[in-house]
Amino acid sequence: MGQSIKDKVAVIGVGCTKFGDRFDQSYEDLAVEAAFAAFGDAGIGPERVEAAWLGTYSPYGGNGKASVALADSLRLYGKPITRVENFCATGTDAFRNACMAVASGVYDVALVLGVEKLKDRPTRGIAREGVHPYQGDGVTAPGMFAMSANRYFHRFGGGRETLAKVAVKNHSNGALNPRAHLQINVTEEQVLKAPIISYPFGLYDCCPTTDGAAAAVICRADMARDFRDDYVLVKGLGMAVTSGRPWFDACYEGVGFASTRAAAAEAYRMAGIENPVKEVKLAEVHDCFTWTEISNYEDLGFCEKGQGIHFIGEGRSALSGDLPVNPSGGLKSFGHPIGASGVRMIYEVVTQLREQAGPRQVKNADIGLAHNLGGPGAVACVVVLGQQ
């Protein structure tokens, strides 16, 4: 196994726009707002950045098709900018690549920016590209994850009432977050009576389609104190890719995601974490659907397979629980502009570790985790951040 980058990279600035139906702002407007918020947080100007990574998944109207979208937005000319696209793990993968470049010593200071405009386009939802003309006909993200949820409940028990607990928790957290898309509380009764999207998922079990941007400024850890005293260190990074056609694997059970388990194992190894349920104090996980959060509890090692229904049922993932999950409101409430989501998770974890999260602050948070899951569970990225 290669060298670890533990404690070699520091996050010195973060920024995030309001997520939601941002018809008032263009792709460039969102990128500029997030980037300059991160610059201001780090106490630098854009000229201090030596390289940048742009995370955008679904370009439309020329926005985000190449790295020039960031160069033109920030006038960041004459410097290396890399565009990253990796399903829903786009933002965390952009952060991962930037961290490796800084840890290698090639750059001292770098910018990571994730941005997406999903509302200003003529089609509904996310366009499917490069799929078989018949195999993919009628396939939707809710439909794919719903099949896994049904299989999971068939094997381990639980049902829509279990999903409702996740929705209620994440909406409650999002209601405390002024940047979240859906700042509303919901009851279990509302969740259970909502229109069905793809059984067992109702309306409140699915994350919204959202516009937004988030940014992070990173630097070599040995120079972080030149910028601020309360910098946050990168402890571990993990990335794993499995087949994009898991249904062709006769051993595929559909009750969890091998990519998350592998990515988490690598991030934990690098960070020196042996018991994540005790050592990780908060987690931002990929709750594109309520059941996905339950499977993530298990795949990230917070509980055994099949025990996620009890993890949520006992309140362990609540703000007041022993391992708060998605204190930001998660994708479910904060929203999911795909390229921005992973960087937004970094923003939330850094904010929590600095104890700047206000009414949603997690107590005694010294180690935080961000996790994205992309495609049909085929791509996963895990980032572990910690205090000095």
CA nearest neighbour of 83 among 100, 69, 96: 69
Residue 35 φ then ψ, to 5°? -65, -45
Strands 282-284 and 367-374: parallel
Architecture per CATH, domain 141-204+233-386, reads as 3-Layer(aba) Sandwich (3.40)
Angstrom CA distances, 293 to 153, 160, 164, 341, 348, stand at 14, 14, 12, 15, 17
Beta bridge partners of 20: 211
User: What would the two tokens of residue 129 be?
Assistant: 């590209």
At 315 the pLDDT is: 98
Residue 123 pLDDT greater than 80, yes or no:
no
Asked if 256 contacts 374 with a C-beta cutoff of 8 angstroms, the reply is no
Residue 242 pLDDT greater than 60, yes or no:
yes
Cα distance between residue 119 and residue 125, in whole Å:
9
Residue 163 pLDDT greater than 90, yes or no:
yes
Given pLDDT bands bounded at 50, 70 and 90, which one contains residue 129?
A: low
At 62 the pLDDT is: 81
Average pLDDT over every residue of 252-277: 96
Residues marked active site are found at 88, 336
> Could you tell me the residue ranges of all domains in the chain?
9-123+211-226, 141-204+233-386
At 130 the pLDDT is: 55
Which strands, in side-by-side order, build the sheet including 367-374? 81-84, 51-55, 109-116, 212-220, 9-16, 232-241, 379-386, 367-374, 282-284
Cα distance between residue 277 and residue 310, in whole Å:
14
Beta bridge partners of 202: 196
Cα distance between residue 388 and residue 383, in whole Å:
16
Residue 195, preceding peptide bond in cis (omega within 30° of 0): no
Cα distance between residue 120 and residue 118, in whole Å:
6
Cα distance between residue 351 and residue 374, in whole Å:
24
Cα distance between residue 283 and residue 325, in whole Å:
5
DSSP state letter for 250: T
Cα distance between residue 90 and residue 92, in whole Å:
6
User: To 10 degrees, what angle do helices 290-299 and 258-271 make?
Assistant: 50
Average pLDDT over every residue of 302-310: 98
Helix (H, G, I), strand (E, B) or coil at 106: coil
pTM tops 0.95, yes or no: yes
Which alpha helices (H) appear in 178-255, and where do they start and end? 188-193
Cα distance between residue 18 and residue 16, in whole Å:
7
Beta bridge partners of 51: 110
Average pLDDT over every residue of 118-122: 83
Average pLDDT over every residue of 316-320: 98
Average pLDDT over every residue of 376-385: 96
What DSSP element (H or E) covers 82? Answer: strand 81-84
At 59 the pLDDT is: 87
Architecture per CATH, domain 9-123+211-226, reads as 3-Layer(aba) Sandwich (3.40)
What would you report as the CA-atom Rg of the chain, rounded to the nearest whole angstrom? 19
Mean pLDDT of all residues in the chain? Answer: 95
At 244 the pLDDT is: 87
Q: Assess whether the region 9-123+211-226 and the region 141-204+233-386 belong to the same CATH fold.
A: yes
Given pLDDT bands bounded at 50, 70 and 90, which one contains residue 357?
A: very high
Geometric angle at alpha carbon 107, from 101 and 109, rounded to 5°: 105
Cα distance between residue 297 and residue 317, in whole Å:
9
